[in-house]
Amino acid sequence: MPWNTTPTPEQRLKFVTLANSGRFTISELCEQFGVSRKCGHKWLTRFAEGGAKALADGCRAPHSVPLRTEDALERLIVSERRLHPTWGPKKLRVVLERKHAIEAPPAVSTLGEILKRNGLIEARRRRPGAFEVKRGDLTQATRPNHVWATDFKGWFYTQDKQRCDPLTVTDLFSRQLIGLQALPQATQMWTRMACTQYFRTYGLPEIIRMDNGSPFGSIGPGGLSKLSVWWISLGIDVEFIKPASPYQNGSHERMHRTLKDECCKPPSANRQAQQKRFDRWRKEFNEERPHEAIGQRVPADVYRKSAVRLDDGIMVNLYGPLEKTHPVSETGSVSWQGRAWHVGDAFAGQAVVFEPRDEESVVGVRFANLVLGEIGGECPYGRIRPTAFKKRRGSRRIVSKGPESPVDKE
């Protein structure tokens, strides 16, 4: 019967033995063993020249490699890698061209093999898949301040045992590192204070992308927290990546790995010293480090500040002129049909819109462009019920004064 895998040396010896017995033809044996006549004759020739040992698997490596990288160049590559332990083959190739004036440096794949051969690249383990929660499609950034990504790198202790939670914000189009703040805790209060500083310095982005964890998301209606509700109230759209899917924020996570290797090992003496270290690294990241995604340019050459500024005097209307809004109390409740319905603490002080449903005693509740759920009916607890799916609507940014802002459509 034909084999599904490569024949073993024992099977090859059996083939040769049967062939030399004279009871079978080569064609019959080749058909029985599932190999070609050329392969069968090759085994017979090997056996005749070297016996059973010649039927063993040989080394497939070439006897010579004429295009192998010269030892001097390999030592130079290893030296540059050790100067920049987090730089990969693509960046090192640019360094060979610019810094060392090498006209034809090795290919990126060759540089990767050189790094592996010298033990400068560690094998990465893939984490198993996780249950996916349906989210909307993510936006591809096409201009500066189109999409910002934000996250916490992961806290650690400085040498004086102070907790340090690095908050990071990047512009996904230019790769500009907008903010890198050594916060004492990853709370909504500290995050909002830092974001207020970024908004005043760089202006407002159109979209902020984040993961589903605190302080950005919650298990409440729409997955929103007070922080993400505040962003929406400023006219910023929010995007959540799928749970357990950091690859959807790949460039930001890659920056985190470099940040950890170059700025957090070992940690600084205290949080103030760690912040100074972050500031120096952020300047290098934005003004000196080439990035493949932007043609090996530096982010500072591509990034431009947003024209939409943070102004407390500007009120953003999240709804159309004909939509009737309903205020959410400080306890997170709205009034409907003479009864208080709890929408969520995250929406306290905001306004929502009721949308009719087929059942007259039930209405949908929408905040800005996100359907939160339904209230009414026979629910005994007076709480909002999540819908089977979240419907995305075209968001509107209508500013009461100041420069006219764009209108986003589906």
Q: Which two tokens stand for residue 146?
A: 């189109």
- Span 244-265, average pLDDT: 87
pLDDT band (50, 70, 90) for residue 354: very high
What Cα–Cα distance (Å) separates residue 327 from each residue in 99, 245, 333, 355? 61, 35, 8, 15
- Among 242-246, 387-391, 396-400, which range has the highest average pLDDT? 242-246
Contact 217, 211 (CB under 8 A): yes
Contact 47, 55 (CB under 8 A): yes
Phi, psi of 355 (to 5 degrees): -120, 130
List, for residues 162-187, the tens digit of each pLDDT value: 999 999 999 999 999 999 999 999 99
pLDDT band (50, 70, 90) for residue 392: very low
Residue 344 pLDDT greater than 70, yes or no: yes
Residue 220 pLDDT greater than 80, yes or no: yes
**pLDDT at residue 402 in the model:** 36
- Span 250-274, average pLDDT: 91
Report long-range pairs for 281-290 (Cβ below 8 Å, ≥24 apart): 281/180, 282/177, 282/180, 285/177, 285/255, 286/176, 286/177, 289/91, 290/91, 290/94
Between 269 and 131, whose confidence is greater? 269
Residue 16 pLDDT greater than 50, yes or no: yes
Range in 92-96, 111-115, 134-138 with the lowest mean pLDDT: 134-138
**H or E segment at 163?**
strand 163-171
Residue 387 pLDDT greater than 50, yes or no: yes
Residue 393 pLDDT greater than 90, yes or no: no
**pLDDT at residue 67 in the model:** 62
| Pairing of β 237-240 and β 207-210 | parallel
The average confidence (pLDDT) of the chain is 84
Instruction: List, as one string, the DSSP characters of 261-308.
Output: HHHSSS--SSHHHHHHHHHHHHHHHHHT--BGGGTTB-HHHH----SS
Phi, psi of 403 (to 5 degrees): -65, 145
pLDDT band (50, 70, 90) for residue 405: very low
Residue 59 pLDDT greater than 80, yes or no: no
Residue 325 pLDDT greater than 50, yes or no: yes
Its pTM surpasses 0.75: no
- Nearest Cα to 185, choosing from 167, 203, 208, 170? 167
Q: Which two tokens stand for residue 64?
A: 């010579």
| Triad 285, 252, 255: Cα angle to 5° | 40
Contact 341, 334 (CB under 8 A): yes
Place of tokens 């927290």: 225
- Report how far residue 158's alpha carbon sits from residue 193's, in angstroms, rounded to the nearest whole number: 22
- Report how far residue 82's alpha carbon sits from residue 80's, in angstroms, rounded to the nearest whole number: 5
- Report how far residue 167's alpha carbon sits from residue 218's, in angstroms, rounded to the nearest whole number: 18
- Report how far residue 385's alpha carbon sits from residue 364's, in angstroms, rounded to the nearest whole number: 9
- Span 6-22, average pLDDT: 83
Q: Which two tokens stand for residue 159?
A: 């040498």
Residue 221 pLDDT greater than 90, yes or no: no
Contact 210, 241 (CB under 8 A): yes
pLDDT band (50, 70, 90) for residue 127: very low
